[in-house]
Amino acid sequence: MSCEVHVHHQPIEHAKVGKKVMDFTLETYVPREGCFGSVNLEKLQQDGKWTILFFYPADFTFVCPTELADLAEKHAALEQLGCEVIAVSTDTKFSHLAWRNSERLLEGVKYIMAADPTGALSRYFGVYDCETGLDLRGTFVINPDGMLISSEINFYNVGRNSDELYRKMEANIHLREHPEQACPAKWTKGTKTLTPSEKLVGKVYESLQE
């Protein structure tokens, strides 16, 4: 079975870090408003938003509600950074509604829950598992220009950490404002960055001590 995405019968490339992402529209359940809706990447770009796509395997599963609950704890802080958080699975919007309102771990989930029942967007981002019809655990960050700047994919049995997602968002936002800089390992807001140049070659240790 092929996992390629086709538009007008022509396969298109998967999303790639550093490249512009194709536009998409998905049906949604919006817990904050308690209603169905839709989300469109082009509109998010027009609004100057950073887009976080949080793919997960399925509603009514086991690791997934722990991940979504963890993400909910960071949702307000991510919003303050200018991010739109969108959880995505191959379930329908009706399933999202039922799961959100029955699983107590999800009581704090206010962000958008998007439906990709055909798996088209999941295939494009390389998380679709043809053997199961489910998504792997994928986190993708798209900047306000529509460029994919971060990609992370985990297998089914390893949950993610929203603290690390928040750290990476702070770093990416800082670097968008200061493109001449680079953030070293474990960088957090307010700590030292690096400014690549010929003077820094072989002298990273010394630079970090300054």
Complete DSSP assignment for 113-137: EEE-TT-HHHHHTT-EETTTTEE-E
Instruction: Give me the residue spans of the domains in the chain.
Output: 5-160
Burial of 88 (0-12, 13-18, 19+ CB in 10 A): buried
Residues 6+ apart with CB under 8 A from 72: 106, 108, 109, 110, 111
Residue 83 falls in the annotated catalytic set: no
Q: What is the model's pTM? A: 0.93
Q: CATH number of the domain at 5-160, please?
A: 3.40.30.10
Active-site residue, selected from the candidate residues 3, 35, 64, 183: 64
Q: What tens digit of pLDDT does each residue of 146-191 get?
A: 999 999 999 999 999 999 999 999 999 999 999 999 999 999 999 9
Q: What tens digit of pLDDT does each residue of 36-82 get?
A: 999 999 999 999 999 999 999 999 999 999 999 999 999 999 999 99
